[in-house]
Amino acid sequence: KVNDRASTLAGVSGGWLTDQTLFIGAAGYWNTNRDDDHRLQYGGAVARWNWWSRQRVSVSTGGLVGLGTATLSRTVGELFGGPVASGGFRNARLIPADARFRVNDTFFIAEPHVGALVHLNRWVRLDAGVGYRLIGSSPLLGDQLRGVSGSLALQIGGR
C-alpha cells in the first residue's frame, strides 16, 4: 500500500551474482499507476545472499538502500491538523481541512527482503518474497510510504 491505496510497482535490477550465492548490484522501482497525485519511484544499491543456492528451492535474504521521490494527495487536515488561513490581513480566507493538495517529497529508503527462489533451470529462477519499506527523511509523506511489500520476480542469468 502507498497512501492507503493498493499499489503495483515495476522494477529492474542488475548486478553480479557470484557462485549463485552473493548478489551485488543496483535496482530501481516505480509505481505503475502514474496518476499525478499517486507517484512513487526509488532505487539504490542491492545486496542479497542466497542460502542453499544449489538446491531446487532456496532462500534469499538481503535488501536495498537508496533514495526516492513521491507525489501523493494529502488533505490540509492531514498536513496541518485542521483548516488553515491563507492570504494577507485584508484577503484572509480559510482553507478547509478536507481540501486536497499534491505533496512532493524526497526520502531515504532501506528495504530488507526475504524470498524463496525456485530454480526452473540453470539460467532461470522464480523469486517470490516479502519486504518492508523503511522510510527516512520524509516528514510530509513518510507515514504513507512505509510498509510491507511483496514481490514476484523472474531472475535470468548466472549458473
- Residue 25 has a pLDDT of 97
Whole-number pLDDT of residue 13: 92
pLDDT at residue 18 tops 80 = yes
Q: What angle do CA 93, 94, 97 make, to 5 degrees?
A: 160
Please, is 145 exposed, middle or buried when counting C-beta atoms within 10 Å of its C-beta (0-12, 13-18, 19+)?
buried
Cell of 65: 538502500
pLDDT number for residue 122: 83
What pLDDT is attached to residue 78? 82
Q: Where are the alpha helices (DSSP H) in the chain?
A: 76-80, 142-145
**Chain segment 99-139, per-residue pLDDT in tens:** 888 999 999 999 999 999 999 988 899 999 999 999 999 88
Kindly report, residue by residue over 38-96, the tens digit of the pLDDT: 899 999 999 999 999 889 999 999 999 999 999 998 888 888 788 787 776 677 788 88
Residue 10 CB coordination number (10 Å):
9
